[in-house]
Each structure stands twice: as C-alpha cells, then as structure tokens.
Amino acid sequence: MPVAFNELLRKQWEKQRFLCVGLDTDYAKLPEGIRADAVSDAIFEFNRLIIEATADFCCAYKPNIAFYEGYGLEGLDALIRTNRYLREHYPDIPIILDAKRADIGSTNRGYVQMVEDVFSAHAITVHPYLGREALLPFLERSHLGVIVLCHTSNPGAAEFQELTLVGGEPLYRRVAEAVCREWNTQGNCGLVLGATYPRQLAEVRQVAPDLPFLIPGVGAQGGDLEQTVKNGRDANGAGIIINASRSIIYASSGADFAEVARNEAKKLDQAIKAVMSSN
C-alpha cells in the first residue's frame, strides 16, 4: 500500500516544516547556462538543483503541470524525471501535482491514473464544480491527497467564489463545509486558500478545523505571512502548506540561482517559524 499523502505531511509538520516550494519552471526564465541544454534536460537540471538547495526547509514540492505541458513531450518528460528524482532521493517529502483537474467520473479515473502512474505524485489539486459524485475516483483513493480549490489567491477570485447562495452563505464557505463534512470520508482531503484573502482564510479555518490548507499567494503575490500563519494554522499549530514559487526559484537569474533560492527558502522557513512561536 502506498504511503498516504497526509501521513507524509504530518511527519513534515512534526519537524516544523510548513514551506512548499512551487516548481513553476519555465524554460524561458532559466539561467543562461542551464538553458543551453535541451528543454527536458534543462528543466530537470534546474529542478534538481533547486530541490537539493531547498529540501532542508520543505514540507512539500508543488510542480504546476501547465509549465511542463507548455513544452510538450519534453516538458512532460522533465516533470516525470523531476518527480522520479524526488521519490528516489527525498521519499519523505510529498509531491503535490498542481493540475486543478476534475471532470465526470469516468474521465477522472484517467486523471487518477495520470497523477499516480505517470507523474508519481502524492496529491493533486482539483476543482469542486462538478460535485462529489464526479470526484469519487479521487476521493476514494485513501492514500492520494485531494486538495480542493476553495478560495484562490488571484484578484478575480471573488467573481464566482464569493457569490451568495440562498440563505446568505458564500459559495467558498459551502465548498469548505462540503469537503470537511461530506467528502473527506477517507481522511485525504485538503483545501486551497489564498494568502491574499486573510479574512476568508480565517473563516474557512473555523469551518474546516482539521483539514490541511495549501496556501499560495505569499511571496510574489504579496500575501501577508503573519496573517496567513495566524489565520490558517489549526488547533495543533500545524495544518498549513505555505507555497512560494517565483520568489524562491527565480530569486536569481545568474549562476548562483540555487544558492540564492536556498537563502530565500531558509528566510521564509525561519519567518514562518517565528510567527508560529510568537503565539
């Protein structure tokens, strides 16, 4: 039986690790020396060096599949190689495939096969729009982390996510309630909450006191770290996966990119721990 995503995550939290590095790797943005290689080799080598530099501080890695799909087969090959490398060299650090998938049930079985058998990830992000029935192929895999979009970090998130339902409840709150009370029968669910919406983050923590929160928006998007930690953590002083992508992996465009990425990851890790210990 594969090791469950949430079990790996809990072990990282026990080490006081709450930082997730997003491997949003774009060949066009790579340092010139790395970009001299073929696309697949360059992306993999960049990821490998970033991983080696930051693994001491990470509770998870989160490759966004779009950055790899954009380069076709070479990009997808780089993602497969990256996740295989993580599995072999850092087996205790879970991989979250940021794919934001969901469709009718029969199609979702293909997505489950994709995330597990092709990309070797421990968890996947999904959207809730088609409802629980459609997502059952994900939800029934007890070892697979299923991280559901709830209130995202982008400026336009409120257009639909904050729509008021009959009875006065916002849509994002209803999503959180459904995931917490109805969908999480295997104990494998989490929620995506943007750091750029601290009030909503705090509100959803009250609705879903025990679910893991994947929290993008700290770093390049400007989310406030102190508010994020205080509003997002659970009663046990854990429960958060704070993601930073561009602010770490592209902190330097020179030959020192891995060293600078390590420094940025360490700085953010220390800042998270400082907030954790202050309250």
Active-site residues, by number, are 100
**Cβ contacts of 13 within 8 Å, gap of 6 or more:** 59, 238, 239
- In 3D space, the residue among 68, 17, 14 whose CA is nearest the CA of residue 236 turns out to be 14
Is the four-CA dihedral 46, 49, 52, 53 of positive or negative sign?
Answer: negative
Cα distances (Å, whole numbers) of residue 61 to 136, 196, 276, 277: 25, 21, 21, 24
Displacement of CA 237 from its chain's centroid (Å) = 19
Does residue 265 contact residue 248 with C-beta atoms inside 8 Å? yes
Q: Which residue has the tokens 């850092």?
A: 90
